[in-house]
Amino acid sequence: MARYGADEFIVLLHETTESELKNLASKIELEVAMGNQASKRQYLLSVSMGYALYDPTQCTDAMAFMAHIDASMYAQKRCKLGNRG
């Protein structure tokens, strides 16, 4: 796990499955939700994640893979913003 940008982090997993990847994403979202419930802050934290298994037939290099994951994260973010209200 490493900080990638101002508010972006990367978790690299070695030899994992799609199911394990989705399970980890769910656990992270649950931890954030539990932290929000336990907090006395006047604001809530949120998380948007992009994730994927590396497929060399779809992404030929690390930059293409990062762009794919980034697009996935922004799609999730747009979905969450669209569900507010």
Task: Find out whether 49 and 71 touch, Cβ atoms under 8 Å.
Answer: no
Spatial distance between the Cα atoms of 58 and 31, rounded to a whole number of angstroms: 32
Q: Phi and psi of 10, rounded to 5°? A: -120, 135
Residue-wise pLDDT for 58-79, tens only, equals 888 999 999 999 999 999 889 8
Residue-wise pLDDT for 29-67, tens only, equals 999 999 999 998 999 998 999 999 998 898 889 999 999
Residue 5 pLDDT grade (very low, low, confident, very high; cuts 50, 70, 90): confident
Best CA proximity match to 5, nearest among 80, 76, 66: 66
The partner residues of 10 in beta bridges, in order of sequence, read: 2
Spatial distance between the Cα atoms of 22 and 69, rounded to a whole number of angstroms: 14
**Predicted pLDDT of residue 27:** 96
